[in-house]
Structure 1
Amino acid sequence: MIACQGATSITTFADFLCKKLTRALRCATYDKTAIDIADEMRSNYPAFNGTRAKLETHILKSLAEEENFEKYKQYIQSPRDFFENFIQRCVDNYLDKEKAKLLSFLNSRLCVFCSSVHTAIDESTKAVKDKNGNASLWLDEFCNRLRGDLHFPRNELKSIEHQEIKDIEFLKKSMVGALNSVKENLKQDFAAPDVEPFKSKPHEILLEQLCGCWETCPFCKAVCTNTFSGHDGDHSVPFHRPQAVTGIQWHRTNHFIIDICSSLVASDCRLVLSGDTKIPYRNYRQAGPVHAKWSITPDNSAQSYWKWFVCHFRSQIEIEYSGKFEGKGRIPPEWAGFTKEAVLSDLEKL
């Protein structure tokens, strides 16, 4: 227990309290700044100012511009991880260019929190004077007033609650002086802004805001577009992809299936379950519990984007999945007419 007398006792009390406040202020400042950055990017960064579907459009554009098959594989096979990495790269690039803005956010939030602490000091002092209270009561009042702004547990201050402090005005003055020092020290810490101290990283906040359902079509791996994880009802997507995108081949051949899932359920094709057991493709829900949770409605609409992808990465797809675009999997000649510029233009219209 800290045991001092008079002015020394009060100064020690204030210094001890402000050391505790330093950590609380730093954490609160970083937490709020992370939200500020996420909000800033939601407002001003085109990829993030809409739904996850809009973000996915930006990702598809980025992938097409890079023309990197390995990145496409990551996106198709692990969409959630790819989304998170994409968002993190965007945030890192943004903050690298906007260091002054990050510093401004940090200092602005710090000032707001320090103002709250200053108010709590004033109000606690007045309350204790009115009640002719002691140090323990002052701490009670102080912590209660900070409860909505800072994580500052009262039970961590038991070592100073029995201090004999009679000059409450001097305590107030000492606290204000110590708080000013804390504020200046934290500003110096923030002078070289860094995202590492963030408990909740800005990109994690953005991912959570843009999350939704991550279930993928059991055939083409398109991601369910429902905006809620664990949503009621079936999974669905507005556009399915040629099944060759995930390497699916016609039974007992090495020929890729270039049809999209929604056209297959409208056809007379049959789905092979195991061995030679087959069912009409339209009865795909019978294939298992995963398939049963998907709504794939008959539709021949296919995005030009994935037709371009199949043509552009034909050789890589064949190597990756040991298949051929032959026989029923022959690529229609008209697919070769889709240019990258044209499919990117189509994406803009979504």
Structure 2
Amino acid sequence: MCFQISCQGATSITAFADFLCTKLSAALRQAVYDKTAIDIASEMKSTLPAFNGNRSKLENYILVYLAEKEDFEEYKRYIQSPKYFFEDFIKQRVDDYCLDKNNPKLKSFLKNSLDSFHTLVLSAIRDSTEVTKDRSGNVSLWLDEFCRRLLQHLTLPRDDLKSIEHQEVTDIEFLKAAMSKALSPVVENLKKDFTTIDMGPFSRKPHEILAEQLGGCWEKCPFCTALCTNTIAGHDGKHSVPFHRPRAVDGGYWHKTDNLVIEICSSLVASDCLHILRDDRRIPYKKYWEGGSPYSDWKITPDMSEQSYWKWFVCHFKAEIEKLHGRKFEGKGEIPPQWKYVTKDTVLSELKD
């Protein structure tokens, strides 16, 4: 009779352990993906210069990338849809970092995360057993302790385990052994699943984490489309940017002409030129804020300094810019001769300093 009761108890404990480990499998899988995404983003921020600052620093790296590639279509994407361009740029760098066929780092990230959680669960099994034995508790107490220890790390709701909390489990030490044994095949199966080099199953991907961390304000200057450099989305105060661009970069032209505007916003607001609004109202650039929003949302300080980068861009892609916008660098928009002496090496050197 004692042997029969012992066998029934062992069977009950084994069933309990198998059920709980089935629940753990899904929780572990998601936890590993979540931790891996965070770890990848964290490592990239600490090891890759493009990602270890704010978005302005990242933008410098993007400008270098664009200049080195010399692809006007890429520039178009960056100028017209900067937020999406940034996100794509980050995603490509994450893929390059993790999914290289010769050295797929994703495998090691997943393995390290799984090993970490395996150790964590084994510790929770051991500690829950000790507490339950010390308090002469039952399986319900064991489950309380087990879930509490994993609460900050895994999604394993205690309420999902109510169906097994009334199991007749008296040998808590045997439960510990059964849980450790049942956990092993779960971990091995997950290891096999993680050999596939794919971030598709991640609910939150590393590039999304980096894009969020390196986000900020995405408002564009109403004159030249340069991005506000404030690091906080929806920030207080006016939008601003250290360097504006020639208005021609986004197709700005002089009223009733087909002449593109080569001046930058910060020099225009120091001039006596007029800006023509869509309703044909004329406002002095010096009082651009009188045009209302979005002009009044920006602080554009009169300044004659400008980056060499956009001078090189205008000269290098002159024909493409003219074709895209259907206007010319002629008349008031004639490119200054000295701009043509700005080399790519010069602008890259400025950005890398």
TM-score of the two chains, using structure 1 as the length reference: 0.95
Q: How does 1:63-212 map to 2 (within 5 A)?
A: 63-97=66-100, 99-212=103-216
**SS at structure 2 position matched to 1:302:** coil
CA contact (8 A) 1:99 1:193 kept: no
| 1:6 is aligned to 2:13 | no
Residue 68 of structure 1 aligns to which amino acid in structure 2? D
What is the RMSD of the two structures over their aligned residues, measured on CA atoms? 1.5
CA contact (8 A) 2:83 2:218 kept: yes
Residue 17 of structure 1 aligns to which amino acid in structure 2? L
CA contact (8 A) 2:38 2:209 kept: yes
Q: CA deviation at 1:109?
A: 1.7
Q: Distance in 2 between matches of 1:23 and 1:62?
A: 41
CA contact (8 A) 1:263 1:298 kept: yes
Q: Distance in 2 between matches of 1:178 and 1:165?
A: 16
- In the TM superposition, structure 1's runs of 4+ consecutive aligned residues that sit over 4 Å from their partners are none
2:284 counterpart residue number: 280
Q: CA deviation at 1:293?
A: 1.0
Q: Tell me the alpha carbon deviations over residues 32-84 of structure 1, each in whole angstroms, 9 at most, x when there is no partner.
A: 11111111111222211222111111111111111111111110111110000
Q: Distance in 1 between matches of 2:352 and 2:123?
A: 51
Q: Tell me the alpha carbon deviations over residues 266-324 of structure 1, each in whole angstroms, 9 at most, x when there is no partner.
A: 00001112454211111111112211110000001111110111111111111111111
Q: CA deviation at 1:103?
A: 2.0
Q: CA deviation at 1:100?
A: 4.8
Deviates further, 118-127 or 239-248: 118-127
1:36 counterpart residue number: 39
Residue 61 of structure 1 aligns to which amino acid in structure 2? V
Unaligned runs of 5+ in 1: none
**SS at structure 1 position matched to 2:277:** strand
Q: CA deviation at 1:187?
A: 1.6
Q: Tell me the alpha carbon deviations over residues 98-149 of structure 1, each in whole angstroms, 9 at most, x when there is no partner.
A: 7453222222221221111111111211222233322222211111111122
CA contact (8 A) 1:266 1:298 kept: yes
2:349 counterpart residue number: 345
Q: Tell me the alpha carbon deviations over residues 148-189 of structure 1, each in whole angstroms, 9 at most, x when there is no partner.
A: 221110111122122111221111110010112222221222
Unaligned runs of 5+ in 2: 1-6
Q: Distance in 2 between matches of 1:127 and 1:276?
A: 79
**SS at structure 2 position matched to 1:289:** coil
**What is the percent sequence identity of the aligned residues?**
62
Q: Tell me the alpha carbon deviations over residues 169-215 of structure 1, each in whole angstroms, 9 at most, x when there is no partner.
A: 11111001011222222122222332112211111111111111111
Deviates further, 121-130 or 76-85: 121-130
Residue 166 of structure 2 aligns to which amino acid in structure 1? H
CA contact (8 A) 1:121 1:175 kept: yes
- Alignment length (residue pairs): 346
Q: Distance in 2 between matches of 1:176 and 1:71?
A: 54
| 1:219 is aligned to 2:248 | no
Q: CA deviation at 1:348?
A: 1.4
Q: Tell me the alpha carbon deviations over residues 213-233 of structure 1, each in whole angstroms, 9 at most, x when there is no partner.
A: 111101100001111111111
**SS at structure 2 position matched to 1:212:** coil
| 1:308 is aligned to 2:312 | yes
